[in-house]
Amino acid sequence: MLPSYAEAPRRSGVPREVLRWLQSLDLSFSPKHFRRDFSNGYITAEIFYWYYPEDIQLHSFDNGTSLATKLGNWSQLEKFFSKRKLSISKELIDGTIHCKPGAAEILLQEIYVMLTNKRIKTVQDNEVDFTDQNYQDRLPMVARSTATKAVKSNITLSETLAEPDIIVNQQKVQAVIDLHLLQRKQERLDDPKRFNVRPSVGERAIRLMPPSEHTESESRQSNRSSSSSSSASSRTDIRSKANVNFKEIKVKQGDRSCVSSSATSTTSSSMSNSS
């Protein structure tokens, strides 16, 4: 008789119906620490053996704790998944092998949904995250990890041993450091007084919002309406002025004969002087 799982959901985060289903399979031993007990793949092989006994050979699986044993067991399981066209992500398998936080619990729920065709809200609706980010967010600022501690917590020794490529391991470390720096930056924004952060001159300056397209269109329409109203008023003034009666001014014309005789005498005098 397996022990009761009455308090297990509170400790492990696995739904009660999944634990009852796991208890009904009558496994060789009761998993108490999911992160440790599911890492080598032996319990996973036992679970699938109950549904696919012709494809799973339990004698070929080793219930050991070494990295070579874990990789060998999961390599056989991945071949079985490919044969049966069962969709389990490589990221989830690697997280379970290297004891990432929450990976084994999510794997168990994925297997439950896959084999029983039942829906679990925590699997379909929650975002998968194998880092300790959620745990760090719940801690006070003084108790949160440093950059070195964050790397040690999120990258295990077995993970570096399983991946011989140094560049890939460096990229993983850099990703953890970038996430840590982003969290520190957010802390400074959330509590600037704690870090003695003073606003810059640009932040203290009053900035006017640029006019939106709606405001510009309204101003253009107002300008057009004002110009049209001014032109209409000018036309109205012209029309009103068209009815004004102007007085005719009569100018007396001079005697043109006198002007022509004086011009002739001037011309003749100039010709005599030139001769």
The DSSP output letter for 30 is -
- Determine whether domain 1-127 maps to CATH 2.40.37.10: no
Report pTM. 0.57
> Taking all residues of the chain, what is their mean pLDDT, rounded to a whole number?
77
Tens of pLDDT along 27-37?
888 888 898 99
Tens of pLDDT along 194-230?
778 787 777 777 777 666 665 666 666 666 666 656 5
Look up residue 78 and give its two tokens: 């991945």
- DSSP for 177-239 reads HHHHHHHHHHHHHH-TTTTT----HHHHS--PPPPPHHHHHHHHHHHHHHHHHHHHHHHHHHH
